[in-house]
Chains A and B, each alone.
Chain A
Amino acid sequence: MSVSVTVDLCGRLADAHGPVLDVEIEGEVCTVGDLRRRIAQEWPGLADAILGPRVRACLAETMVDDAAPVRAGDRPAFFPPVSGG
């Protein structure tokens, strides 16, 4: 069984494929790290950035690490380094 997770891409990450990706994940839960690898597989142009250490993950408006679980209905986001105001 797989579910679709809507992912927001911020800043320059949105340049190639837009600010929103619908990502299919196996099962009802995966980790942020799994999600990064799934995106890199599906959208190779994003691989370097999304797998790199400078892009941080955000879940429920909190910064999370790669072990954080992502469930169906969550809306994770990936942040490139911020520009500041």
Chain B
Amino acid sequence: MPPRCGQAIVRPFSRRCPVADPFDVRLSCEPLDPIAEMARFSLPSSQGAEDGAIASFVGICRGGAHDGERLVALVLEIYRGMTLRSMEEIVATARERFAIGRACVVHRHGRILPGEPIVLVAVAAAHRRAAISAMDYIMDRLKSDAVFWKREETALGSRWIEPTDTDYSDKARW
């Protein structure tokens, strides 16, 4: 059964310290504050000596459902440790493919309202191209491979969503 909020898989704060863990991957059922996350990620004391670029992306819950109805809420279900592990695998592959030094990936689960941030991906690297490419890669993989089941709630009911053709073609770029 998907964990409820009280069982959220959120790492203790010490694991978030970029010095101790430069690759910080988390799930949270609490609202995500991208500004606070980015402030922490960008602190001079958090930076590695080689950091010359930070690229970031924030995904926001849209107000329109796939069927054109107004979205009431988006519900993201996870499964125990599998969801976090799938996110960690994506970030680990990004580390192998791109010359990056740090990353922060925070993903919401549970019930998300239109306008709320769903995901933050921030990547630091010596040079901008690696940071931008790795951020783009992580997002494309999250959109199709991460272990989430997503359903849209509208006034007409609830509907499960699967990756779109665009999501698959975005992933195929890599």
- Spell out A's residues near B (CB within 8 Å): 8, 10-12, 19-20, 58, 61, 77, 79-85
How far apart sit A11 and B2, CA to CA, in the bound complex (Å)? 9
User: In the bound complex, what is the Cα–Cα distance between A65 and B65 (angstroms)?
Assistant: 35
**Are A85 and B119 in touch, CB under 8 angstroms?**
yes
- With A20-B1, A77-B79 already in contact, the answer to whether A82 and B146 are too (CB < 8 A) is yes
> What string of 1s and 0s marks CB contacts (under 8 Å) between B87-98 and chain A?
100000000000
Question: Who on chain A is nearest to B145 by CB?
Answer: A84
Looking at chain B's contact residues, the main secondary structure is mixed
Could you say which of B1, B118, B162 contacts A85, with CB atoms under 8 Å apart? B118
Q: Which residue of A lies closest to B161 (CB)?
A: A83
Contact with A along B46-83 (1 / 0, CB 8 A): 00000000000001000000000000000011011110
Contact between B149 and A82, CB atoms less than 8 A apart: yes
List of A residues within 8 angstroms of B59 by Cβ: 85
- Name, among A11, A12, A61, A80, the residue most crowded by chain B CB atoms within 10 Å (CB to CB): A11
Q: Are A80 and B85 in contact (CB under 8 A)?
A: no
CB distance from A68 to the nearest CB of B (A): 16
Cβ of B102 within 8 Å of any chain A Cβ, yes or no, is no
Partner of A19, one of B2, B144, B167: B2
Known: A11-B77, A77-B79. A84 touches B1 (CB 8 A): no
- The residues of B that contact A19 with a CB separation of less than 8 Å are 1-2
A82-B160 contact, Cβ under 8 Å, with A10-B2, A61-B80: no
Residues of A within 8 A of B99 (CB): none
Once the chains are docked, how many angstroms separate the CA of A80 from the CA of B167? Answer: 17
Question: Known contacts being A84-B145, A84-B163, is A58 close to B150, with CB within 8 Å?
Answer: no
B143 at the interface (CB under 8 A from A): yes
User: Chain B contacts of A81 at CB under 8 A?
Assistant: 162
Cβ of B87: which chain A residues have Cβ within 8 Å of it?
A: 85
Residue among B77, B86, B145, B146 making CB contact with A10, cutoff 8 Å: B77
